[in-house]
């Protein structure tokens, strides 16, 4: 099993499990390039990929999309903190 997916399974569940990007790509019907690019953070997890991964790993597609969203938000904040810090915050009392 490769690093991205290790954190999703308790230690007891991964004993003896050896999933390579090649095997995963074949099992879920996508190219190995797609899996490799996701692992290298060169490609996002799409709805299609999330549905395939959820079926394979037995969890929800929303789980995979949430991981992608969390990653995207973290990247945006790290890359452009000054942009977001310059945006004024509307005072709560001014909201109609």
Residues 77-89: tens digit of each pLDDT? 999 999 999 999 9
Residues of the chain under the 70 pLDDT cut: 1-17, 94-96
**What pLDDT does 28 receive?**
98
CA distance 43 to 36: 9
- Which of 2, 14, 9, 13 lies closest to 41, judged by CA? 2
CA distance 69 to 59: 17
Task: Domain count for the chain, please give it.
Answer: 1
Domain residues for 76? 3-86
The structure's pTM equals 0.75
**What pLDDT does 12 receive?**
47
Asked whether residue 95 is domain-assigned, the answer is no
**What pLDDT does 5 receive?**
56
């Amino acid at each position: 099993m490769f690093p991205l997916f290790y954190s999703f399974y308790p230690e007891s569940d991964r004993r003896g499990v050896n999933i390579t990007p090649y095997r995963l790509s074949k099992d879920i019907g996508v190219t190995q390039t797609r899996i490799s690019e996701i692992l290298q953070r060169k490609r996002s997890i799409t709805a299609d990929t999330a549905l395939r991964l959820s079926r394979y790993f037995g969890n929800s597609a929303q789980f995979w999309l949430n991981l992608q969203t969390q990653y995207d938000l973290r990247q945006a904040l790290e890359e452009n903190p000054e942009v977001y810090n310059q945006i004024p915050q509307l005072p709560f009392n001014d909201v109609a």
